[in-house]
Amino acid sequence: MIIESKERGERMKEIVRDYEFDSTVKQTIMLDKDTLKLVKMVDNAVGKKEYRTFMTHMYYNCEDMLLIGTDGRRMHMLDTSNNGNFIPVKQSGYADIVGTSLVIYVEQRFDTIHYKRVIPKTKIITDKSYDFTDRKKFNVYVGEFYNDIHKNVNLGFLQDLIGLEYNLGIQTDDNNYPNRERAFTLTGNNGRFTGILMPLVEN
């Protein structure tokens, strides 16, 4: 049974205990201010449904040096390959923000997030950018963004991406028209942060 807690880090300890996993096997890394901001943006995509424990925490893939957060409908990824904060990390595992640090619990019996299946394989990156660096600019650009993608998208998911300027990656059909059913990407921070969103299903 998972014990509820206000702090996600504390909840993680209960989850790993349920998996008969030694919660002391972990890596803690300090984050600078800019990296902490990006990590929090990854955490925005983490799921809230407790019965899907493998989606209620971020996941760090040591091989690809990616920090991933997903709730099954969207996924945020941070490429840490050029980030000195992550140099000490030697093993993959689930991760949580604790204060200004990131705690990574070494992977053993957990379900792995198969994030590579979600990343669109074919996409066209537009030469257009959208300034979502703050809420005021987001409110200016979001209407134009909706008009460009021709998709219905959860507004809350877009609001969780406020903080960066993005380029759009979108799949098109045979007539070079945006495919309404396919996921699209928003890439910012010089390609290091990526948001992948599924459009809302139209009845």
How many Cα atoms sit within 13 Å of 8 on the Cβ side? 24
Q: Which of 81-95, 118-132, 134-148 has the highest mean pLDDT?
A: 134-148
**Residue 182, domain member (yes or no):** yes
Clarify whether residues 89 and 105 are in a common domain.
Answer: yes
The confidence band for 3, taking pLDDT boundaries of 50, 70 and 90, is very low
For residue range 58-69, list pLDDT tens digits in order: 999 988 999 999
Where residue 99 falls (left for φ over 0; alpha for ψ -120 to 50; beta otherwise) is left
End-of-domain residue from the set 117, 144, 159: 117
Clarify whether residues 39 and 132 are in a common domain.
Answer: no
Helix (H) or strand (E) holding 190, with range, is: none
Clarify whether residues 38 and 69 are in a common domain.
Answer: yes
For residue range 145-196, list pLDDT tens digits in order: 988 887 788 999 999 999 999 998 877 666 655 555 678 889 999 999 999 9
Give one DSSP letter per residue of 121-151, joined into a string: SS-EEEEEEEEESSHHHHHHHHHHHHHHHTS
End-of-domain residue from the set 94, 117, 140: 117
Number of domains in the chain: 2
- Provide the whole-model pTM: 0.81
Residue 159 contacts residue 76 (beta carbons within 8 Å) = no
Which has the minimum average pLDDT: 20-24, 71-75, 101-105, 155-159? 20-24
CA distances from 58 to 38, 97, 170, 175 (A): 13, 9, 25, 38
Position with higher pLDDT, 110 vs 87? 87
Provide the domain limits for residue 36. 8-117
How many Cα atoms sit within 13 Å of 155 on the Cβ side? 6
**Residue 3, domain member (yes or no):** no
